[in-house]
Structure 1
């Protein structure tokens, strides 16, 4: 557990540096966006390629993927059931489902996997489940609801593989499955670029925490409570139960799957909510509250499973 706590401390310090830079006016929201986009479009895909190139792809795509996917699907299904019972419209229900099951795999998942767990490839099951299944499905439903014309089949099918993180993950997995090593002249710059992914994401995250919007009125405590409990308690618990009793993960894999399923709601859920004008306040507040809750939840999981 000591190594995990040390990893979280490292992450917290770098996030704190980002918040301090924002507080001093050295980095503003425009610079924060540049940092985030550079990491998203360049550094993170490079990191995923180089990490997965040397990873055991069969291990990544087997038990951990099943447990992670089970946590996402069951949690989202529970939220949809509650939304139907409460009579929410489909668009708000989709955003609420994302709030309850879409983890911050990019900004926090990669750093936690890399530093707290010692292996960035551990986040890949969550990334693939979200980028290839959950997000495309949600965006398709929202497109159908808000667009005057039905989105084309080509647009629906190609959306998942246009995400840079998906491309990086798939390229790395192909290299691993085919036992192919990149030439040193290509691997070296990718490795160098990938090295900036984690610090850039964490600094940008710290800036966002300092300068971003904070919760306000507009969301009932009951609605926010349901989403937060599903995200921070039910999702990791379901992933743990499936990992332990259904697919028989070893202790290290079980800890990783449970911890990464307890990551807070991803910030891009707020971006999606703004884009489609559905559940905007719920997304904003769910991200904030789940982010605050993530540290104590992670400590509890570490104490029980690490």
Structure 2
């Protein structure tokens, strides 16, 4: 009899049948992440799904459903799985246990079925972040956009959204900014000079957006750093990125905007790679004062050129 079966026999009370939960049709990103972290635990322990299932007195389907977020997991079961996988990372286990007992719905759930899942999942990541970093090359970061600028950005989408769709997406983007207004989540935005000059909606809207960006950069907890054209290297220059720090480093998340979609990455290799990207951005970007100076100069150019 293998060691896992022996250990499971010592814990008959940790896998109660009464804690079985109904299948979820559409697990949220956070629910899927909890399952994915459980899968990582199992894989790092060198256990197959069937082997873990036998050791815990479950069937393999239940393990698969837990690891894909299709069924809920109690904090007790999470800790039992962690013990069976010899996971000694206490901060991670505690953070996952807290995730397992989350029951409240975020404000973004009000838009489920109205907006695409991508919109909701971006807000979900931001809503649970401990700190946020962004890197943009083509537009001002969404969390710092004015309403008019956001509407202009959405109006450039292909296929062209209806006025109602543009209004709804803009409303959602403005609500996302609550995460910064609370001043509970530090935010660092790296903005390429190209994004400061790109016009969405015309010169007046751009000038107002740049003024708002300067004001935001002076708000406690918000830092705006500009990458000027003169910089000879710009890591991640083809991507608009967000790096969301979790409660523990293992729960960090990278969001990348791609054509017609949003992608999320959380593997150790991806996280390490993008930590390096943001470290290089921090080394090459202008300081805050220098960034504000450049933004002001561009704003004056826009006002004078189109006055």
**TM, length-normalised to structure 1:** 0.22
Larger radius of gyration between Structure 1 and Structure 2: 2
* Structure showing the higher strand proportion among its residues: 2
**TM, length-normalised to structure 2:** 0.22
* Structure showing the higher helix proportion among its residues: 1
